Each structure stands twice: as C-alpha cells, then as structure tokens.
Amino acid sequence: MELGDEAATVAATDATTETRIEIVAERRRMHDAAFRGRMVELSMAPGARVQELARQHGIVPSLLYRWRRLASGEVSNPAPAVRLLPVQLAGSAGANPCASKPAGLIEIELADGVRVRVDDAVSVATLRRVLGVLRG
C-alpha cells in the first residue's frame, strides 16, 4: 500500500463517522431555606471568602452569590415563569394523525406562525442554527 492509498483510506474512514450525541440527565440537589440562609449569613461575616465557603460545603460559588442576591432583594423572581402552549394534532377527526405523515417527521410551529418541518436525517447543528435564526 502506498502512502497516497493509506491517506485516502483514512480520509474515507474519517468522513463516514457519525456524530454521537449523548444526553446526560442529572438531578439537581435542592437545598432547604435553612441551609441557604446559613450559607448567606456565613458569607456576609467579616473576612468570609465566598469561594472557600462554597468549596467547604460542596456548592458552586455562583449559587452562593445568587442566594445572596435573593436575600438582599436584588432578584425578585429566581425561576422563569412556566408558559404552557396549546398543542394541536393535525389530521381529520377520528383518523390517526400520524398515518398521513412519514415516520420521523417533526413539525415545529413558532409563535409567529413560521413552521419548520424536519425529518430524522436533519443534523442537530443545522436545526439549532435554523431555529436560532428564526428566533431572531
């Protein structure tokens, strides 16, 4: 095998690899109000270092800073409001709405009425780019 043949084989092998997407679900720890209050109080003590306090208690410093802002009233609504959207199945009444569409087809209708249809062959990067542009 010549060097050129080996390079072509490597290029062909690299070009056919598929991108792997891994979804990792991790549950967040919930800290009770007493713990949060104690951490804020300790962080406000003279000479206290937020970085060190957070490390000692197994939390990230940004969380402690967030609790401090909440305690001081700087942040009024810590969690984004949940907004439910109506869902409508397309198709005639009584018929299977999925029967007329090919398997793997996803249709997304944005708030302004724009519809995006993709199938299972769309790349995640392309879909993200398109939705980002449409959201403006």
Q: Could you say which DSSP state residue 28 is in?
A: P
pLDDT in tens, 13-32: 545 555 666 666 666 778 88
Q: Could you say which DSSP state residue 19 is in?
A: P
pLDDT in tens, 67-126: 999 888 776 655 666 777 777 776 655 555 555 556 678 888 877 778 888 888 888 888
- What would the two tokens of residue 134 be? 């449409």
Q: What is the CA radius of gyration of the chain?
A: 26
Residue 60 burial class via C-beta count within 10 angstroms: exposed 0-12, middle 13-18, buried 19 and up:
exposed
For residue 77, what pLDDT is reported? 56
Residue with the bigger pLDDT between 22 and 39: it is 39
Residue with the bigger pLDDT between 111 and 64: it is 64
Alpha helices in 45-95 (DSSP H): 50-56, 61-72
Q: How far apart are CA 84 and CA 81, in angstroms?
A: 10
Give 65's pLDDT tier (boundaries 50, 70, 90).
very high
For residue 117, what pLDDT is reported? 85
